[in-house]
Amino acid sequence: MRIAYLDCSSGISGDMTLGVLVDAGVPFDKLNEAVGSLGLPGLRLVAQEVKKHGFRATQVTVEHAHEHVHRHLHHITAMIDGSRLTERQKQTARRIFTRLAEAEAKVHGTTIEKVHFHEVGAADSIADIVGSAVGWDLLAVDRIVASAVPTGSGRIKIAHGEVSVPAPATAELLRGIPLAESAVQAELTTPTGAAILSTLAESFGPLPAMKIERIGCGAGQKDFAEQPNILRLILGEAAGPDAKAETDQVCLLETNLDDTTGEMIGYCIACLWEAGALDVYTTAIQMKKNRPGVMLSVLCRPADAEALEAIVFRETTTLGVRRSVLGRRVLSRRPCQVATPWGPVEGKLGWIAGAKARFAPEYESCLRVATEHGVPLREVYEAACRAYQAGPER
C-alpha cells in the first residue's frame, strides 16, 4: 500500500499543496494542462526552487488576468465540468469546493447555493484546488495521512473585515481534526488548504510505519522568523500491519424514514455521494403501527460526518440521525488503467499480501466509454476485465 504523509508543521495552503506535489514528482505540465482547460484568461502555474530558512523547496505561484468577480459554487462546478479533467479528478475537485461552500454557508448563515466565494473564488484559489485534485490523482496513493495542523495566531484581513486566526471558514473546515499549537503571528492554514486536507486525508497523527520512497517539500509565499514555511510530503510503502491491509475508522449514519417520498430519498442519496460518502444504501424496514419504511445508511470518514448528516436533515423529513464509529479493514488497493477497443478505462486493483491482485473496472469510466461509443455497458466492462487479464496494467 502506498501512503502519503503530510507533515503540516507550518500549516497548509493551496499553493503549498501544489508545490509539494510537484516536488514529489507529479508532472508539472499535466497540472498546467488541467488548470489551463478551465477557461480562465491567462491562467497558468509557475514553479521555481526556493529556500526557506536554508531548506530547499518548490514554490508554485498562479498567474492570471486581473478580475473583479465573486463566484457562486455553480459557476465553479460549471468550469470543472467543462474542463479536460478525468471524471475522478472532476469529482475530487467538486468535493473540495462543496466542502468549502458548506463551511462558508454555515459561518454566514446561508445555503451553499447562495454563498459567495470571495478569496476562494478567485482564479488563483480555483487553480490551487483543481491542480491539487489532479495532482493527488496522478500521485496514485492509496492512503493520505496528515499530522496535527497548526493554524497560526493573530489577526488577518479578509473580504468581510478583520478576524482572528483561524478564519471562520478555516475553523469550520477543521472541525474534528487535531490542531497543533503555534506562536507564529500569521495565518498558517488557509481555507483552501483546510478544504483540501479535510476532504482528502483519511486520518491524522504521527508518521505511519512505512518504507520511504520520496520526499517532497512545498514552500509557502511568506517567510517566518520562527521556522521554515514548508509543507513536507513523505511518500512510501506501508510497513507492518498496514502493508497487509488498511485499517481505519469510519462513521455510520442511520435514520428511519416512513414519510419521505422515494424521489426525495433518491435525491438525498445523490447529494450524499456527491459530498464524498464512502457508501450509501437503503434497507426496507417495518416501523411502528406496522408502517413500511426505509432505513437510510451512510458510511463516511469521521471528518465528513457532520456535513453528510446536515444533508440528511436538509433533504429528508427525519428528526434524528444515529451516529456510530466503526473499525474497518479493507484490501490494499491502487488505481489502474487498461486499454479497450474504445479507449482507456480506469479501475482499481485490490489484493491481500501474497495473493493475486483483483481488478475491478470503475463504473463511471465504463459508463463514459459506453455512452461515447454507443456500446452496451456490459461489453465495456467485460472488455476491461479481459484487457487486464491479457497484459500488465498501466
pLDDT tens figures, 320-378: 999 998 888 777 777 888 889 998 999 988 876 556 778 899 999 999 999 999 999 99
Supply the pLDDT for residue 68. Answer: 67
C-alpha cell at 241: 500491519
Close Cβ partners of 311 (under 8 Å, ≥ 6 residues apart): 268, 271, 272, 275
Q: Say how many CA atoms lie within 13 Å of 129 toward its Cβ.
A: 32
Q: Please, what's the largest Cα pairwise distance for the chain? A: 72
Q: What is the mean pLDDT of residues 130-151?
A: 93
> Which one has a higher pLDDT value, 336 or 51?
51
pLDDT by residue (tens digit) across 324-334?
Answer: 988 887 777 77
Q: What pTM value is reported for the model? A: 0.65
Q: What is the mean pLDDT of residues 379-392?
A: 85
pLDDT by residue (tens digit) across 244-288?
Answer: 556 678 899 999 999 999 999 999 999 999 999 999 999 999 998
> Which one has a higher pLDDT value, 305 or 394?
305
C-alpha cell at 175: 472541525
| SS3 label, residue 392 | coil
Supply the pLDDT for residue 246. Answer: 62
What 160-166 contacts at long range (C-beta under 8 Å, 24+ apart), as own/partner pairs, is: 160/118, 166/194
Phi-psi region of 66 (alpha: psi -120 to 50; beta: other; left: phi over 0): beta
**Strand 179-180 to strand 149-150: parallel, antiparallel, or no bridges (unpaired)?**
parallel
* Class of the CATH domain delimited by 251-320: alpha beta
Segments making up each domain of the chain, as ranges:
2-243, 251-320, 330-390
Supply the pLDDT for residue 393. Answer: 43
- Cα dihedral 286, 287, 293, 296 sign: negative
